[in-house]
Amino acid sequence: FIDHAAEEKRLLKEIQKLDKDITLLQTKLDNPSYVNNAPPAVVAKDKELLDSRLSTKSMLETTLQKIRR
């Protein structure tokens, strides 16, 4: 048995957290000074992290839509 209300609340909380992470990473990566001065490995890691967060958010949003049906 799944408590849909509790699961929806949990997913929304996780999506909010991901949104904050995504915004922070996008802000860093949109800053030419950061991209040009940070070590390439650090910039690459941030890009991978951003891709990962976006993917996770997408999966959670899909799950949330299924729960709401």
Amino acid at residue number 20: K
Interval 4-13: pLDDT, tens = 999 999 999 9
pLDDT of residue 1: 79
Interval 44-66: pLDDT, tens = 999 999 999 999 999 999 999 99
pLDDT of residue 69: 85
pLDDT of residue 42: 98
pLDDT at 34 over 90: yes
pLDDT at 14 over 90: yes
Where helices occur in 1-69 by DSSP H, the ranges are 4-30, 32-37, 40-68
